[in-house]
Structure 1
Amino acid sequence: MDTPIQVNPSQSSPLHRHQSSLEGVLDFSAELPAERRPYSSPLLVRYTYEYARSQESRDVFLRAFFQSMRLSVDDEDVDLGDTEVETGLRSALFDFADYLLDNFFLLCIRPNRRRPAYHSAIQRVQGAQGFVGTLEQISALRGTSLVRDRHRCVVSRRFDLKEAINRTEHANPMNTLEVARILPHSLTRANPGAPLDPSREAALAILNMFDMGIAYLIKGADIDRPRNALTLTQRLHQLRAIDLPLPRLLAVRSAIAHILHLSAAGAYIDSILWDAEKHGIRPDGSTELGRFVHLGLGLGLAGERVTVV
């Protein structure tokens, strides 16, 4: 197994010097045709870097990126004008973007089972996190969050229907309320007491690229603490375009939403799910759902719309 690389902020100057190199690598004027590349890989990678919340997180991302591209951060002799070199870098970039999409941005649906070289690159940068999955604690979380939010949706201020019945407080506008997590439980869910599988380790490593150390805020049972939840009506729970309790978690969720929008990856995921709901798997093999089947997701949608962000 490769020896993990420990990120030392004091040694980050080569990364700063090579920020321009990163921008040059991502500045591909000719991507794959739209029918083969339904979202922008360079933009997904670029905005994942740009929306990182600290220099340390950006340094982590740059190290993983350059390792995945098989480039040295202090190499001044990369000839981006060489067609063969450019082709190889483009291919590596697309693979790295797919890795980010498959191992993090799709995780709100369900984690995958792959562990390619890009997983090792990110693991080498950060080292094994050793996070352990947790049991569902939604009942306790719901009760705590409802009390904290005074049984009202934090956006619409609608009162919880069940509590209203208990209080006979029918004068208030009522609605059924739900508890929504800011960062999804699928990031840490695993068998009780078992270590996280490689896909979840990868997701948490990528999460740290947005804000170094933030994965510890949802470590173990902490993912079910009220700081990672809020009370919403069912409709607003589905929309999820809201202000959330902990600013640090909100900032990461906002970054994810911007990246998915700006790179068109969000629309790509929505189109796959819409196609799956309407047509299922097409016999001619044209359905992009094949990507999800490859990830071990199967259909598993049961006609239910799944919102990624």
Structure 2
Amino acid sequence: MGILQGDIPPALPPVKPEDNGAAPRLFDSIISHFEPLQTTKNGFKPVTLIRLLKEEVSDTDGFLQLFFPFIEHYLDNDSNETDLARILPRLHSMAPWSTKDNHGIGACLIEFANFLMNNFFIPLKALAAKTNQPTPASLSHSQHSDAGIGTLQRISTLRRDCLVRDRHRCIITQKFDLLEGADREKKDGPDFKDDDGKLLRLEGDEMAVLEVAHIIPHSLMLLTNIDGEQKLAEPKQMAYKILKMFNPTIVPLIGGTDIDRPMNALTLDCGLHKFFGKFEIVFEHIGLPHTYKIDYIKQDRYYVRFKLGCRCEEMFV
């Protein structure tokens, strides 16, 4: 499947009413048949990855409009069919799947899972690896309007606003910012306090160097000059399209300089920032507003100094 061109990839046609029930049923049938037969590939289970992603997106029609044409194209290299009204009957006619069909569709599912990894998870992970941190000197220039200011000053403003919002503490460990603590000690002496009026000298060496971490990577929406036009580069276009399936209203949230707003950033210990950027920490919403269960993806790790477990934290947004 080719990647659509333009600043922002247009949405595929909506699923027709007559296909609304058929597409999810066929998807569930394929997944339930092939998931028990799968083997781990490249460190993950491909069919399980597809199922979990479909369960998490809010735009299931968009996901199915990506899934079924991909399978159709893989089964028939000459096909660029995107109309589910034509694709679904063909796939449905193959059930119950023969040994040959098992191999063919099974291979399609592996390719689709690899497609998701290569065009969404891996690029997003690479983009999220690090948020550039402003130098302390640059913070003094961040008091004026965001209009027309450069990226460095926006990040400086973002750091300042996130520290104030999160009360100068890592939202996971609750450790106070070491640099802010040093400034307050210099100004107020041994009775220097945190934002809630508690004595900071009692925390001693428990303070940490804090950084601002983007949730949706800052560079995801940076345009590239392509043939004289400012466009999203191809690797970002598909990542953006899949990301939009999770939240169809994502454009006004991250468009332009809004990607550098506090609603898209966290205050983290610099070590946890690295784990977060590598997709090794998960925030699982537990039903309460802005409250999450925080843990490592691999919960049996023993070599890290941050013990997370089932800790729940309030995120100030």
Look at both structures and tell me which one has the larger radius of gyration over its CA atoms.
Answer: 2
Q: Residues 69 and 243 of structure 1: is their aligned pair in 2 closer, same or farther, counting only changes over 3 Å?
A: closer
SS in 2 for 1:194: strand
After alignment, is 212-221 or 184-193 more displaced?
A: 184-193
What does 1:96-111 align with in structure 2 at a 5 Å threshold?
96-110=112-126
**Unmatched 5+ stretches in structure 1:** 112-133, 268-309
Match of 1:171 in 2: 201
Larger strand share, 1 or 2: 2
Match of 1:78 in 2: 93
Q: Residues 164 and 135 of structure 1: is their aligned pair in 2 closer, same or farther, counting only changes over 3 Å?
A: closer
Give the TM-score of the pair, scaled to structure 2.
Answer: 0.60
SS in 2 for 1:155: coil
The percent identity for this pair of structures is: 30
The count of aligned residue pairs is 229
Pair 1:66-2:68 in alignment = yes
Match of 1:118 in 2: none
1:42 deviates by 0.7
How far apart, in 2, do the equivalents of 1:38 and 1:164 lie? 42
How far apart, in 1, do the equivalents of 2:17 and 2:235 lie? 28
Tell me how large the CA RMSD over aligned residues is.
Answer: 3.8
Match of 1:294 in 2: none
Deviations 1:99-146 (A, max 9, x none): 1001111124437xxxxxxxxxxxxxxxxxxxxxx9454222112211
Q: Is the contact between residue 223 and residue 230 of structure 2 (CA under 8 Å) also seen in structure 1? A: yes
Match of 1:18 in 2: 23
Q: Residues 216 and 166 of structure 1: is their aligned pair in 2 closer, same or farther, counting only changes over 3 Å?
A: same
How far apart, in 2, do the equivalents of 1:244 and 1:224 lie? 23
How far apart, in 2, do the equivalents of 1:5 and 1:212 lie? 10
SS in 1 for 2:268: strand
How far apart, in 1, do the equivalents of 2:269 and 2:234 lie? 35
1:37 deviates by 5.0
SS in 2 for 1:232: strand
After alignment, is 209-218 or 88-97 more displaced?
A: 209-218
Counterpart pick for 1:44 among 27, 43, 49: 49
**Unmatched 5+ stretches in structure 2:** 73-80, 128-149, 186-191, 193-199, 300-317
After alignment, is 233-242 or 136-145 more displaced?
A: 233-242
What does 1:95-244 align with in structure 2 at a 5 Å threshold?
95-110=111-126, 135=151, 137-168=154-185, 169=192, 170-171=200-201, 173=203, 174-191=207-224, 194-240=230-276, 241=281
What does 1:265-304 align with in structure 2 at a 5 Å threshold?
none
Amino acid at match of 1:62: L
1:238 deviates by 3.7
How far apart, in 2, do the equivalents of 1:242 and 1:151 lie? 22
Structure with bigger RCO (C-alpha 8 Å, 6+ apart): 1
How far apart, in 1, do the equivalents of 2:108 and 2:251 lie? 27
Give the TM-score of the pair, scaled to structure 1.
Answer: 0.62
Q: Residues 244 and 181 of structure 1: is their aligned pair in 2 closer, same or farther, counting only changes over 3 Å?
A: farther
How far apart, in 2, do the equivalents of 1:244 and 1:176 lie? 25
